[in-house]
Structure 1
Amino acid sequence: MRILATLPAPADGGVHTPVLGFPLTTGVVHAPDGTVYVLYATGTGDLTGLWRLIPGKAPQRIAALPADGLPNGLALDRHARQLYITDSVLGTVWTVPTTGGTPTAWSTAPELASTGFLGANGAKVHGGALWVTNLDKGTLLRIPIRLGNRAGAPQVKASGMTGIDDFAFTGRGNEVLATLNAPSELVRIQSDGTTSTVLDTDDGLQNPTSVALRGKDVYVLSAAYTTATDPNLLRARLYGRR
């Protein structure tokens, strides 16, 4: 591993970061030009927001986000050059151009709200829509991206997955692989909303928080935030991919 950048620490140590009480980097995306965008939640107005990392340059905050929120999931629409940010505390999806600027509240639909811990979480742009998970409600949502970058009404595409966090599309239509934090599982969500467990604690998962695909390789990151024994990166193979 190598460190790409170190963001400045909040003066108060991040004790006012909503829900968690410590500062953390969350969503991250890699643009085709090599730019890396990352979210930072600190509970302070001077640091919370969207940061841009350009090789050879110092990290730069390009959009400020509310200090009383928790920016979490980050998705890039490469064609429209827009970034979408889920706020797990405020139940909001923000949108910001890749050039940065003032965030716009793209959706505040009730389906994004939490029920006491964390709501809107993972985010991906796919098939003309922004797909979002809600950790507390255990749902996978599809929010159409309308003309003029307007948000359509959220559609629940799958439910009953408490602790759902990040996810990735497999390349088979709307089929998804998603991480479930508390049960320490990776599940497959088919286009009709049915689910099945494909990896679990027997495979080494410990509170998995994110998943990515590269070819037929599936990478799952375990945070181990309850076991505190083995944060790890697991690689598996996706069979039968066309």
Structure 2
Amino acid sequence: MTVVPSSAAPAATAAARTVSTPRSSVAPVPSRIAVHFDPAKGQLPENVALGPDGTAYVTFAAARQVAAVTPSGGTRILATLPAPADGGVNTPVLAFALTTGIVRMADGTIYFLYASGDAATTGLYRLRPGRTPHRIAALPADGLPNGLAFEPGTRRFYLTDSVLGTISTVPLEGGRAEVWSSAPELAAAGFLGANGIKVRGDAIWATNLDHGTLLRIPLRHGRPGPVRVAATGLVGIDDFAFVGAGDRQVIAALNGPNMVVSIDVAGRSRTLMSAADGLQNPTSVAVRGSTVYVLSAAYSTGIDPNLALATLPLR
């Protein structure tokens, strides 16, 4: 997440200070807007997980919802989280309650994060098919849980907190969250720090929005190794995804600049999509085969939150 609705103007101003165009070559890919969402209903897509049939499971941030978007463009609301008593104004930095990171398991169970500024509701939630969501781990109400990933080897979730500048871990069955890393590379610098997160091979990868960096942290018997900055100059970097089986190519959303970029193993970036392709504050990406799903939340534009589909060139 980078830019917030107009109801949180101070945060939006902080984000605007960092918006610029990253240094990269341009290699556009064919794309189209597949689904338009309704900003009046708070349908500002924050994060995405894909099902095997191409259904996109998304969190609608401002609506506090989890939804399923079918390949034909139909949208079904799966859950709505209750608003905190204060309306969410105590949510750090953003001042509105929001659903954020999401993971879908093979059995259809969905796990997602809710940041509300309220100790009774902020946390990691489980949503089984046809059921109501249930909080399985409380998270600090003075933080902003944002990105979520699952590591099957240890059966643990890893999640970023963009305000506290940490990565925490929670067992699959739920329980107490433990801070896994509070390395300085995760810290914010005025707005939001650690943001997107993925598990790849023997490492945890994360982004830092304020610093415009992609980070790699080795998993060493469950403990973090030294942080390596894998790429820099990625202004407003939010969520990201890997292409293929390895970690040699990353696709990332740059929220403020309205861009999607490809990042190679040397940390070099090139632009794949821009505002000309309909991007409006892209928040998250997912890759299925040669298709890239790009969610735009229109946090600052306020016009057209959407789902775009792009096709990567075959290798």
TM tier relative to shorter chain: over 0.9
Q: Deviations over 1:86-139 (max 9, x none)?
A: 000000100001100000100000000000100000000002101000000000
Give the structure 1 partner of residue 121 of structure 2: 47
The structural deviation recorded for 1:79 is 2.6
Cα distance in structure 2, aligned partners of 1:217 and 1:190: 18
Give the structure 2 partner of residue 153 of structure 1: 226
Cα distance in structure 2, aligned partners of 1:58 and 1:193: 42
Cα distance in structure 2, aligned partners of 1:233 and 1:63: 30
The structural deviation recorded for 1:53 is 0.3
Give the structure 1 partner of residue 203 of structure 2: 129
Residues 78-117 of structure 1: matches in 2 within 5 Å?
78-117=152-191
Give the structure 1 partner of residue 34 of structure 2: none
Residue identity opposite 2:228 in structure 1: Q
- The reply on whether 1:64 has 2:138 as its aligned counterpart is yes
Residue identity opposite 2:204 in structure 1: L
Q: Deviations over 1:57-107 (max 9, x none)?
A: 221000000000000000011232110010000001000011000001000
Q: Report the TM-score, using the length of structure 2 for normalisation.
A: 0.75
Select 1:4's aligned residue among 68, 75, 78: 78
The structural deviation recorded for 1:165 is 0.3
Paired residues, what number? 240
- Structure 1 segments, 4+ long, off by >2 Å, are none
Assess if the C-alpha contact under 8 Å between 1:31 and 1:78 holds in 2.
no
Cα distance in structure 2, aligned partners of 1:172 and 1:3: 32
Distance 1:172 1:34, change over 3 A: closer
User: What is the aligned-residue identity percentage?
Assistant: 63
Q: Deviations over 1:161-186 (max 9, x none)?
A: 11000000011632100000110000
Q: Deviations over 1:28-74 (max 9, x none)?
A: 00012221000000001000010000112221000000000000000
Residues 151-190 of structure 1: matches in 2 within 5 Å?
151-171=224-244, 173-174=246-247, 175-190=249-264
Q: Secondary structure at the match of 1:2?
A: strand
Cα distance in structure 2, aligned partners of 1:49 and 1:152: 26
Give the structure 1 partner of residue 313 of structure 2: 239
Select 2:283's aligned residue among 209, 214, 222: 209
Assess if the C-alpha contact under 8 Å between 1:70 and 1:88 holds in 2.
yes
Assess if the C-alpha contact under 8 Å between 2:290 and 2:314 holds in 1.
no
Cα distance in structure 2, aligned partners of 1:35 and 1:145: 25
Residue identity opposite 1:186 in structure 2: V
Residue identity opposite 2:223 in structure 1: R
Cα distance in structure 2, aligned partners of 1:146 and 1:20: 34
Assess if the C-alpha contact under 8 Å between 1:51 and 1:59 holds in 2.
yes
Which structure would you say has the larger RCO, counting Cα contacts within 8 Å and 6 or more residues apart? 2
The structural deviation recorded for 1:19 is 0.3
Unaligned segments of structure 1, at least 5 residues: none
Residue identity opposite 1:18 in structure 2: P
Give the structure 2 partner of residue 200 of structure 1: 274
Unaligned segments of structure 2, at least 5 residues: 1-74
Q: Report the TM-score, using the length of structure 1 for normalisation.
A: 0.97
Q: Deviations over 1:176-200 (max 9, x none)?
A: 0000011000000001100100100
Cα distance in structure 1, aligned partners of 2:152 and 2:76: 26
